[in-house]
Structure 1
Amino acid sequence: MKTEFTFGDIVSVAGYENRIFYVDAWREVKETDEWGVSEYVEFELTDAINGEFLDAYEMDLRLVCRKHFAEDYLLAYDVTDYPEPTGVAFHFTDDYTFGIGYAKKEAVGMEKGPKEAPKKEHAAGAKRKTDGLLDEYNDYMRLYESFGDTEYKTKADAVMAKLRREAGE
């Protein structure tokens, strides 16, 4: 099957407005049932900003940016009001596809903390988050330098965009 999208392209998904995703992989599915044979393509996607995973059908995707221009696109992308992952959930673009998101403490039944953390604890948490993002960025850059695969560079740029967003808050 020929598909309109390729690895590393940035796409939007019906039902996920104001979010952009990388195309990570796709599956050609040939399904046979008593009424006949149907063929379709399912895509595995990763949110370009927060890393949430999603599966979707080709008909639910719209091209935002080709892989070759993704780095420049993400550098100029405004992430000010970008939606955060909502917790562990199955995401449906229609009745048959799903993806699994990241868990937040509230989503898995852990006790919620105070609405506003003391400044010292807040600063330490922000530093840990920044350190984690920097580690992730450095890992992607090492992979890019080692293998030359532009997908690693694009993902590193997405992490850098998230770092910039965090710094602006």
Structure 2
Amino acid sequence: MKTEFTFGDIVSVAGYENRIFYVDAWREVKEIDEWGVSEYVEFELTDAINGEFLDAFETDLRLVCRKHFAEDYLLEYDVTNYPEPTGASFHIADIFPELPSVESVAALGKGLEKVASNMAKKKAQEVAKEIDGLLDEYNDYMRLYETFGDAEYKTKADAVLTKLSREASE
């Protein structure tokens, strides 16, 4: 399906007067029901001023500005009487009507430090275990090479050594 709009274009939407939206994405919909098949395009939009998300049909959109000129258009756009978002939104003030106390923030920080420290220790243990495994593998291939003199064992030992040096440098 071909559409008139492309990513980054600024459009207006029927029912959302005096608001402008960016085209973020679209999807081609093919709907089959007992009466037949209908195909249409559905757009995902973001309000260019307040960031509200919206889905709309192509028939509800009208082009305001192409993507190439969008930045210049928005620089000169008058937002004085721009409508408030109509969708379900939340504000931090609704979630935290009062700021957390200094003590609770400090306790949270200490807890996070402890978690980070434990994670770092665990990661270091995992890396040490992996390096130990690579060293064992290298030693095994070198013993086989020294015992049988087969060049394939030497090649595999060199590959493990390369991997080991890569792991050690990370």
Distance apart, 1:87 and its partner CA: 5.0
Distance apart, 1:11 and its partner CA: 0.1
TM-score where L is the length of structure 1: 0.54
* In structure 2, C-alpha distance between the alignment counterparts of 1:103 and 1:85, rounded to whole Å: 11
* In structure 2, C-alpha distance between the alignment counterparts of 1:57 and 1:87, rounded to whole Å: 17
Contact 1:45 1:56 in 2 (8 A): yes
Q: CA separation of 1:14/1:86 partners in 2, compared to 1, >3 Å: closer, same or farther?
A: closer
Q: Which AA in structure 2 matches 1:29? A: V
1:103 is aligned to 2:103: no
Q: Which has the higher contact order (CA 8 A, sep 6+)?
A: 1
Instruction: Calculate percent identity across the aligned residue pairs.
Output: 84
Aligned twin of 1:32: 32
- RMSD of Structure 2 on Structure 1 (CA): 2.0
Aligned twin of 2:15: 15
TM-score where L is the length of structure 2: 0.53
More helix, by proportion? 2
Q: CA separation of 1:87/1:28 partners in 2, compared to 1, >3 Å: closer, same or farther?
A: closer
Contact 1:42 1:57 in 2 (8 A): yes
Distance apart, 1:83 and its partner CA: 1.2
* In structure 2, C-alpha distance between the alignment counterparts of 1:28 and 1:16, rounded to whole Å: 23
Distance apart, 1:86 and its partner CA: 3.8
Aligned twin of 2:48: 48
Contact 1:22 1:46 in 2 (8 A): yes
Give runs of aligned pairs for residues 3-152 of structure 1, distance below 5 A: 3-88=3-88, 102-104=89-91
Question: Which secondary structure does the structure 1 equivalent of 2:59 belong to?
Answer: helix
Distance apart, 1:84 and its partner CA: 1.8
Q: Can you list the C-alpha shifts for 1:13-61, whole angstroms capped at 9, x where unaligned?
A: 0000000000000000000000000000000000000000000000000
Q: Where do 5+ consecutive residues of structure 2 fail to align?
A: 99-170
Q: Where do 5+ consecutive residues of structure 1 fail to align?
A: 89-101, 114-169
Contact 1:87 1:103 in 2 (8 A): no
For the pair shown, the structure with the greater C-alpha radius of gyration is: 2
Contact 1:27 1:42 in 2 (8 A): yes
Q: Can you list the C-alpha shifts for 1:117-139, whole angstroms capped at 9, x where unaligned?
A: xxxxxxxxxxxxxxxxxxxxxxx
Contact 2:52 2:87 in 1 (8 A): no
